Amino acid sequence: MSMSPIDAELLRNAMESIADEMYIALMKSAYSTNIKERKDHSTALFDENGRVVVQGESMPLHLASMLGLVEVVLEKYSKTGVKEGDMFLSNDPYVGRGSHLPDVAMAAPIFKDGELVMFVCNIAHHADMGGMSPGSMAGGMTEIYQEGLRIPPIRLFEDNVLKQDVMDMILLNVRVPEERLGDYNAQIASNQLGKRRCMTLIERWGKEKIRSGCDAIVAAVARRTRASIMDLPDGEYKFEDVVDDDGVSRENIKICVTITVKGEEIKFDFSGTDLQVEGNNNVTMAGLQASCLYCLKVLLDPDCPQNHGMLDPVTIEAPLGSVVNASFPAASAARAQTGQRIVDCILGALATAYPEKIVAAGNGANTSAAFFGQSAAGKYYVYLETLGGGAGGRFYKDGTDGVQVHMTNTSNLPIEALETEYPLMIERYEFTENSGGAGKYRGGLGILREYRPIGHNTTFSGQGERFVNQPWGLFGGKPGGTGSFSTVSDSGVETRLANKPSALRVGPENVIRVITAGAGGFGDPLERSDADLIEDKNSGKFSEEFLFKEYSQWKDLSK
pLDDT, tens digit, for every residue of 261-295? 999 999 999 999 999 999 999 999 988 998 999 99
Give the tens place of pLDDT for each residue, 418-429. Answer: 999 999 999 999
* Bridge partners of residue 484, in order along the sequence: 515
Query: DSSP state, 132?
Result: S
Report the relative pairing of strands 235-245 and 265-269 from DSSP bridges. unpaired
Terminal C-alpha separation, the chain: 75
Confidence at residue 1, expressed as pLDDT on a 0 to 100 scale = 59
Distance CA 215, CA 8 (A): 9
- Measured distance CA(270)–CA(362) in Å, rounded: 21
Residue type, position 461, single letter: S
Cβ proximity of 16 and 9 under 8 Å: no
Q: Which region among 68-72, 80-84, 396-400, 520-524 has the lowest average model confidence (pLDDT)?
A: 68-72
Q: How confident is the model at residue 61 (pLDDT cuts 50, 70, 90)?
A: low
159 DSSP β-pair partners: none
Report the alpha-carbon distance of residue 100 to residue 137 in Å, rounded: 10
The strands making up 484-489's β-sheet, listed across from edge to edge, are 424-431, 447-453, 510-515, 484-489, 494-496
Instruction: Give the residue with greater pLDDT, 243 vs 141.
Output: 243
Residue extents of the structural domains in the chain:
5-223, 359-559
Cβ pair 319, 325 in contact under 8 A: yes
Residues 6+ apart with CB under 8 A from 9: none
Is 498 within 8 Å of 469 (Cβ atoms)?
no
Distances (CA, A) of 308 to 51, 290, 380, 487: 6, 11, 41, 45
Q: Which CATH class is domain 5-223?
A: alpha beta
- At residue 62 the predicted structure's pLDDT band, cuts being 50, 70 and 90, is low
Q: pLDDT higher for 70 or 397?
A: 397
Ranges of H-type helices in 350-460: 415-421
Element of type H or E holding 526: none
Q: What is the mean pLDDT of residues 359-369?
A: 91
How would you classify the pairing of strands 103-112 and 87-90? antiparallel
Residue 66 has pLDDT above 80, yes or no: no
Q: Which of the residue ranges 32-36, 172-176, 310-314 would you say has the lowest mean pLDDT?
A: 32-36
Provide the 10 A C-beta neighbour count for residue 506. Answer: 19
Angle at 413 between CA 411 and CA 415, to 5 degrees: 150
Query: What is the C-alpha separation between 190 and 122, in angstroms, rounded?
Result: 8
User: Is the pLDDT assigned to residue 117 strictly greater than 70?
Assistant: yes
Bridge partners (DSSP) of residue 447 are 431
Band of pLDDT at residue 33, cut at 50, 70 and 90: confident
> Which of 363, 352, 333, 347 minimizes the C-alpha distance to 471?
363
